[in-house]
Amino acid sequence: MTAAPRSNLTLNRLWPLGVLVICAAIAAWAFADQLTFDALQDRHEALEAFRDQNYVLTALVFVLIYAGIVALSLPGATIATLTGGFLFGLWPGVLFNVFGATLGATVLFLAIRMGVGRSMAARIDASEGRIARIKRGLDENQWSMLFFLRLVPVVPFFVANLLSALLNVPLSRFVVTTFLGITPGALVLTSVGAGLGTVLEAGGRPDLGILFEPYILLPILGLAALSLVPILLRRKVAL
């Protein structure tokens, strides 16, 4: 007698995640060739013309497309960020980039949390094993850990979204740390995109190796290290 209600409850929780998975598969099949630098190079003049005639609409559509790329975890976020800089300049391009990425990450976060995040977090909290101890340690330092995950370049964006949902991070905390944490990296990529016009006209490609230059990478790593200071101080006080 209880099987049907339990099955309905499971479906109610999983349908948002299922919709994202289906949409991701369709989008990857339909638009994989469009989320590349070659596609941007072929269409940059048409994009500029459309932006000049419909600036507000272009900004709105751009943010929604960026959000869709992130929510569906499609491999096009870097190109989208460069495009934001190319179309809108460093400012307000960086704002559109960060807002779109945060919006998409939030949609994915909510879908995962609704589907499996809360139930998995509850199971971990109810257990007494090693994973439960790790989760309790992360819960005590959520702000620092969330900022660290966003700031460290080696942590994939999708992984940070997934971990946050599985650890049942509060929505407001997730949004704030995502928006602020991705801003330094977005500033760098948007600035590269802002100077992309001459590169596209010449038929060249942007030098993304700048991301790993010491004068770029070290300040971001410094911010990441700074985000861990509260954890160290808390442990020192506890001792």
| Per-residue pLDDT tens digits for 161-174 | 888 887 778 899 99
Class of residue 231 by CB neighbours under 10 A (exposed 0-12, middle 13-18, buried 19+):
middle
Q: Measured between alpha carbons, how far is 138 from 231 in angstroms, rounded to an integer?
A: 10
* pLDDT at residue 198, rounded to an integer: 77
Closest CA to 82 of 177, 210, 179: 210
DSSP state letter for 154? T
- 193 lies in which domain range? 3-238
User: pTM for the complete prediction?
Assistant: 0.82
Q: For residue 200, what pLDDT is reported?
A: 74
Task: Quote the mean pLDDT of the chain.
Answer: 80
Number of domains in the chain: 1
Share of the chain above pLDDT 70, in %: 73
